[in-house]
C-alpha cells in the first residue's frame, strides 16, 4: 500500500478510533474528525457488554459479526494495552440469566436451545448454585438460571483513553470539536468540508454513530438512515465483588466495573437526540436493580446518564456506491463489541480498493 494514501474518518468514537488505528498500521495517513470530544457519546455512555449471549438468539449477519468480534477481543485488548501502556478493565467472567417464575425459566431454556445452534453455549444452574456463587442476588422465588461463560465486559472509557493514546503515538490527527459539514465523493478522492476548513483525502469513513446519516454527503445516493435510540443507565458505587459477572433479568442487565461502579441498564426510547434524564426511566431501572440485588433498595444511584444507540436497517460495514466512501455505522446495541471486527472489515475494504487503483 503506498504510504501517501490518506483517509478521513467522521466520528471519533470507539469505532472510528479503532478504524483509525488499524488504517494507520496499514500505512495510511489518518485524520479523525469529531463534532465534540472523541469518545464522548455512545462510547462514553455504553456499559461495555461484550455479550452475544444477551443479544442474539437467531442466525443473522450481525450475530455472526458479534461472535467473530468477541473472539477478536482478547487480542484487541492485549495489543491496545501494550501499545498504549494504559490499563483496560476487561473481565471475561461470563453472564448469569435469572428466571423468577416457571414461565421465565421456560423462556430462558428455549432461548438457550436456539443459541446453542448459533454457537453460544450456556448451562443451567439451580437456585442453590446461584445462591452459592452470587450471594447478593435475590433468592426468593428464584426458579433457575443459565450461565453464559463466553460473555464479558470492558470499560469503554478505558478503551477510549487507550485508543486516543495509540492514535497520538501513530501520528493520527485528531480533530475534536470539528463537525464534518459536507462530504463530496468524486472519482479521484473525497473532500471533507468541516467547521475548520476543507481537506482532500483518498478515502472517507463515516463512523459517526447515530449522527452518521445526518451528514450531508454528495456524489453518491443518500446514506442509509440511522436514528438514535436513547438508553438510560444508572450506577451505584458498591464494594468489590458485589456483582462478579454480568447479571441479566428480563430486559435489564447489571455489571460491575473494577472501580466498583455497579451499572444497571438500559431503557430503549425513540425520542431523538433528547438528552434529558427521564425520572420514570431511572425509577424503573432502580426498581429492577433492587429486585435483583435487594440491598440496593437501601441506596440511590450515584450516577444516571443517557446515550444514543445508532439504529439502522442493518449494520453498514463497507463501500457505499464508491470504493472511496466506506460506512461503519448502524451497530445499534453492540458498537463496543463490534469495534474490532468493524475495523478489520474497513481495513480489508480499503486494502482491496487500494489494490485496484
Ligand atoms: N449494549 C446494551 C445496550 O445497548 O443497552
What is the enclosing helix (H) or strand (E) of 216? strand 216-218
Beta carbons within 8 Å of 16's beta carbon, 6+ residues apart = 9, 10, 32, 34, 38, 205, 207, 208, 328
- What share of residues in the chain are helix, strand, coil (percent, to 5)? 35, 30, 35
Decide if 127 contacts 139 (C-beta within 8 A): yes
Distance from C-alpha of 106 to C-alpha of 99, rounded to nearest angstrom = 9
Residue-level pLDDT at 70: 98
Residue 119 binned pLDDT confidence (cut-offs 50, 70, 90): very high
Across all residues in the chain, what is the average pLDDT? 96
Domains in the chain: ranges and CATH: 6-87+156-225+313-354 (3.50.50.60), 92-151+227-310 (3.30.9.10)
Task: Choose which residue among 248, 333, 336 to substitute to test ligand 1 binding: the one with the highest number of ligand atoms within 8 A of its C-beta.
Answer: 333
Nearest atom in ligand 1 to 336's CA: 1
The alpha carbon of 196 and the centre of ligand 1 are apart by a number of angstroms equal to 34
Q: What is the pLDDT of residues 78-105, one digit of tens each?
A: 999 999 999 999 999 999 999 999 999 9
Residue-level pLDDT at 182: 96
Q: C-alpha grid cell for residue 39?
A: 469518545
Q: What is the pLDDT of residues 227-245, one digit of tens each?
A: 999 999 999 999 999 999 9
Residue-level pLDDT at 2: 46
Residue 300 CA: distances (Å) to CA of 79, 107, 282, 317: 38, 31, 10, 41
Nearest CA to ligand 1 atom 2: 333
Residue 1 clears pLDDT 50, i.e. is over it = no
Residue 357 binned pLDDT confidence (cut-offs 50, 70, 90): low
Q: What is the pLDDT of residues 287-345, one digit of tens each?
A: 999 999 999 999 999 999 999 999 999 999 999 999 999 999 999 999 999 999 999 99
Residue-level pLDDT at 235: 98
Nearest CA to ligand 1 atom 5: 266
Task: Choose which residue among 265, 267, 306, 330 to substitute to test ligand 1 binding: the one with the highest number of ligand atoms within 8 A of its C-beta.
Answer: 265
Q: Pairing state of beta strands 246-249 and 95-99?
A: parallel
Residue 356 clears pLDDT 90, i.e. is over it = no
Q: What is the DSSP letter of 251?
A: T
The alpha carbon of 4 and the centre of ligand 1 are apart by a number of angstroms equal to 39
Q: Who lines ligand 1 at CB under 6 A?
A: 47, 49, 231, 265-266, 309, 333
Decide if 328 contacts 342 (C-beta within 8 A): yes
Among candidates 233, 232, 240, 236, which has minimal Cα distance to 302?
236
Decide if 152 contacts 90 (C-beta within 8 A): yes
| Arithmetic mean of pLDDT, 35-42 | 97
Beta carbons within 8 Å of 224's beta carbon, 6+ residues apart = 213, 312, 313, 314, 316, 320, 327, 330
The alpha carbon of 281 and the centre of ligand 1 are apart by a number of angstroms equal to 15
Higher pLDDT, 199 or 3: 199
Please give the full DSSP string across 27-73, using - where no structure is assigned.
T-EEEEE-SSSTT-SHHHH---EE-HHHH--S--HHHHHHHHHHHHH
Tally the residues of the chain. Answer: 357
Decide if 273 contacts 210 (C-beta within 8 A): yes
Amino acid at each position: 500500500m503506498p504510504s501517501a494514501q490518506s483517509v478521513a474518518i467522521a466520528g471519533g468514537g470507539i469505532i472510528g478510533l479503532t478504524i483509525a488505528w488499524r488504517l494507520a498500521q496499514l500505512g495510511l495517513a489518518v485524520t479523525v474528525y469529531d463534532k465534540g470530544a472523541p469518545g464522548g457519546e455512545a462510547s462514553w455512555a455504553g456499559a461495555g457488554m461484550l455479550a452475544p449471549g444477551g443479544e442474539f438468539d437467531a442466525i443473522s449477519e450481525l450475530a455472526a459479526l458479534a461472535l467473530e468480534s468477541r473472539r477478536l477481543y482478547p487480542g484487541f485488548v492485549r495489543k491496545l494495552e501494550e501499545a498504549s501502556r494504559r490499563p483496560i478493565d476487561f473481565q471475561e467472567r461470563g453472564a448469569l440469566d435469572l428466571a423468577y417464575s416457571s414461565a421465565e425459566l421456560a423462556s430462558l431454556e428455549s432461548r438457550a436451545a436456539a443459541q446453542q445452534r448459533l454457537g453460544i453455549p450456556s448451562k443451567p444452574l439451580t437456585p442453590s448454585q446461584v445462591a452459592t456463587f452470587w450471594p447478593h442476588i435475590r433468592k426468593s422465588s428464584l426458579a433457575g438460571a443459565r450461565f453464559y461463560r463466553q460473555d464479558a465486559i470492558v470499560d469503554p472509557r478505558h478503551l477510549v483513553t487507550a485508543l486516543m493514546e495509540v492514535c497520538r503515538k501513530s501520528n493520527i490527527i485528531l480533530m475534536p470539536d470539528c463537525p464534518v459539514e459536507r462530504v463530496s465523493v468524486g472519482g479521484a478522492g473525497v473532500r471533507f468540508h468541516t467547521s475548520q476548513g476543507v481537506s482532500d483525502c483518498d478515502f472517507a469513513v463515516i463512523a459517526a454513530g447515530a449522527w452518521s446519516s445526518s451528514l450531508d454527503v454528495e456524489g453518491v445516493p443518500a446514506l442509509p438512515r440511522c436514528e438514535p435510540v436513547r438508553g438510560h443507565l444508572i450506577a451505584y458505587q458498591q464494594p468489590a465483588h458485589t456483582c462478579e459477572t454480568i447479571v441479566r433479568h428480563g430486559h435489564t442487565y447489571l455489571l460491575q466495573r473494577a472501580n466498583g461502579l455497579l451499572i444497571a441498564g438500559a431503557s430503549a426510547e425513540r425520542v431523538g437526540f433528547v438528552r434529558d434524564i427521564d425520572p420514570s426511566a431511572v425509577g424503573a431501572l432502580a426498581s429492577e436493580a433492587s429486585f435483583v440485588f435487594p440491598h440496593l433498595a437501601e441506596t440511590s444511584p450515584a450516577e444516571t446518564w443517557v446515550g444514543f444507540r445508532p439504529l439502522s436497517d442493518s449494520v453498514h460495514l463497507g463501500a457505499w456506491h464508491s470504493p472511496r466512501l466506506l460506512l461503519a455505522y448502524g451497530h445499534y446495541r453492540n458498537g463496543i463489541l463490534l469495534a474490532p471486527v468493524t475495523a478489520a472489515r474497513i481495513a480489508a475494504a480499503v486494502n482491496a480498493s487500494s489494490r485496484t487503483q
